[in-house]
Amino acid sequence: MSADSTVLAVPFAGERYAATARLSALIAPPYDVIAPEQRTRYAAQDPHNIVHVMLPEAPPAAAGQDRYAAAAALLTSWRADGVLVRDPEPAAYVLAQDFALPSGERRSRVGVFLAVSAEPYTARRIRPHERTHSAPKADRLALLEATDTNIESIFLLAPDDDHRLADGLAGIADHPPTATAELENVRLRLWEVGGQEAAGIAALASRGPLYIADGHHRFETAVAYAARRRTALTGASRLLALVVSAQDPGLVILPTHRIVFAGGLEEGKLLDSWRQWFDVGRVAPCADRIERLAEIGRGRTACIVALPNGSDLTLVLKRDAPLDKVPGLGKSPAARALDVARIETLVVQALLGASSTTPSLAYTPDPYAAFEAVRKGAAAAAVLLNPTRVDQVLAVADANDVMPPKSTYFIPKVPSGMVLRSLRDDPQAA
């Protein structure tokens, strides 16, 4: 069965762990959010945990291999030993992730693993919102070329204005799952859907452009790989992606708050600078900072600046602020309208520029961690933001523009190891 190469997303014959009863010990988060100590922990859980091939370690010099070749050899042995088993027919793999927000509220996000066209952005069927860097792409390309396998998935959003994709996936998620697991306090449920039902889901996901939520480096790596291997491998022209409806009620973006490490900040001078652009106030000591931030940010650009003296400032952008005179906000109206672009330029850069030492930045989606760093004297300031909205992500991508770094933090992350996709002998995903 050969898929039409013009179709954006298609079912595929996935590879999955045979030992579904211990799946929780075999999966891991995406490679780019795993710290070295976490990699050690996942590797110790099971000799077949996906990190062993996703983040391979250098083998002994006597082995005569680099770490990418070692990962490929390990993957080959897993297949030979029946650790990984390939499904006989193409399928769509529906994934539900049940998780808690920082507030404690429970959500469930439902998406579907499909094989998506690895094609240049110029085609405008896959739309990015971030710039990428060469080093991560070189690393992922070396692994992809060694293994000829999509070891993990990128994360795409489908506009789905009529909710047909969201409703269809929710209906599947009402049935008993094919497999279950848990990862970092997120409950995972997976359904294998075949035949015409799988084709119908893929068609719903392919009705318009798809937008990269997470995985820009891996997508661009897949495009580079496809350009090299398209004629040699039938599956090279596609990559593994989890597609989620932009209308899914469980779709969540957290803000990425800024922690500023600097010395010699003078609050008076900063206030003089900020009052040109913002109405400046103070948060009442008994007020919930996160609730207050959401309140002042309704329909306005706003942030809270935490300072070591315990005085937390509210900055609300003036309605008549002459933003057209501010360089660096973005080339499109969609990018220039982002809270994160305005606050990064007018607030964070002011903090960095006012330092008497060499300043630096850290990022966290946890507002309490940001406050704690300031309160304990480890940081000079923290800037708390409201989250970027899904429609803003799509609008920036539609404008062919990019967001500032660390503008979005989608939760939960897409697990690695639930489904793999071999690019060898894969005519159904050509």
pLDDT digit string, tens, across residues 218-251 = 999 999 999 988 766 778 999 999 999 999 999 9
Burial class (CB in 10 A: 0-12, 13-18, 19+), 62: exposed
Q: Model confidence at 430, in pLDDT bands (50, 70, 90)?
A: very low
Query: How confident is the model over 270-286, as a mean pLDDT?
Result: 92
| 245 located within any domain | yes
pTM: 0.94
What is the model's pLDDT at position 55?
97
**What are the tens digits of pLDDT across the range 137-148?**
999 999 999 999
Across the strands, what pairs with 258? 363, 383
Same domain, yes or no: 217 and 269: no
Contact 27, 418 (CB under 8 A): yes
| 393 located within any domain | no
Same domain, yes or no: 227 and 336: no
In this structure, of 118-127, 170-179, 223-232, the range with the lowest mean pLDDT score is 223-232
Tell me the H-state helices in 29-180.
36-45, 51-54, 67-80, 134-147, 164-172
What is the model's pLDDT at position 59?
78
- Measured CA to CA, the distance from residue 361 to residue 48 in angstroms comes to 37
Same domain, yes or no: 285 and 242: no
For 250-282, b/e burial (b = at least 16 CB within 10 A) is: bbbbbbbbbbbbbeebeeeebeebbeebbbeee
Contact 83, 19 (CB under 8 A): yes
Burial class (CB in 10 A: 0-12, 13-18, 19+), 220: buried
Number of domains in the chain: 2
- Measured CA to CA, the distance from residue 241 to residue 262 in angstroms comes to 40
Please check the confidence at residue 328 and state whether its pLDDT lies above 90: no
What is the model's pLDDT at position 267?
85
Same domain, yes or no: 230 and 125: yes
What is the model's pLDDT at position 247?
98
Residue 157: name the closest of 209, 113, 87 by CA: 209
| 395 located within any domain | no
What is the model's pLDDT at position 425?
67
Please check the confidence at residue 339 and state whether its pLDDT lies above 80: yes
Percent of the chain whose pLDDT exceeds 70: 96
Query: How confident is the model over 189-193, as a mean pLDDT?
Result: 98
Q: Does 398 or 326 have the greater pLDDT score? A: 398
| 2 located within any domain | no
Same domain, yes or no: 289 and 264: yes
**What are the tens digits of pLDDT across the range 26-73?**
999 999 999 999 999 999 999 999 999 999 998 776 566 799 999 999
Same domain, yes or no: 204 and 263: no
CATH of the domain at 44: 3.90.1530.10
What's the domain range around 281?
256-386
For residue 274, give the 3-state DSSP assignment: helix
| 405 located within any domain | no
What is the model's pLDDT at position 2?
47
Q: Model confidence at 342, in pLDDT bands (50, 70, 90)?
A: very high
Same domain, yes or no: 198 and 305: no
What is the model's pLDDT at position 1?
40
Neighbours of 113 (CB within 10 A): 27
Average pLDDT for the chain: 93
**What are the tens digits of pLDDT across the range 284-321?**
888 888 999 999 999 999 999 998 877 899 999 999 99
| 400 located within any domain | no
